Amino acid sequence: MSVVNFSRDVMLDGYLIPKNAQVIPNLYAVHMDPELWDEPERFNPSRFINKAGAVEKPDYFMPFGVGRRMCLGDVLARHQLFLFFSSLLHTYDLVPETGSILPDLIGFSGVSTIPDKYKVWI
C-alpha cells in the first residue's frame, strides 16, 4: 500500500490537501474501473495476455502500489502467491458450500478490501 505524506499544501482538482496529510490511494477504484477494464468484476486472466501470447501487465494494474513507495515485497509476494495458489488448486477442487452463493466482489473496504464471509468446501 502506498501512503503519501505531503511536505507542503497541495491543490488537486480544486481540493486542498494540507501539509503533512497522509493520502492512501484507492486502488480498488482503479482495478474496478470499467473505463480501464472490460468487465472488471469478472475473473479473466486472459486480460493479461497480449496478442503474441506473452504476459503483459497494464500500467493501471497496481496491486502492490506504484512508484517509489511501492511495496518492497512485490517480487517475493508474487512468487509466493503463485506457489501457494498453484499448489492449492493442483491439490484440491474448491467449490462453494451446497446451496450457497459466493459473495459479491464489493466486500468491505478498510485499509484493504476483504470479502464478506463465505464457506468453501475442499
Q: Write down the pLDDT at residue 23.
A: 79
Where do the structural domains in the chain lie, given as residue ranges?
A: 26-60
Distance CA 57, CA 73 (A): 18
pLDDT tens track for 70-111? 888 888 988 999 999 999 989 998 888 888 777 777 778 777
Alpha helices in the chain (DSSP H): 27-31, 74-91
Q: How far apart are the first and last CA of the chain?
A: 31
Cell of 102: 459466493
pTM over 0.75, yes/no: no
- C-alpha torsion angle, residues 26, 28, 34, 37 (rounded to 10): 110
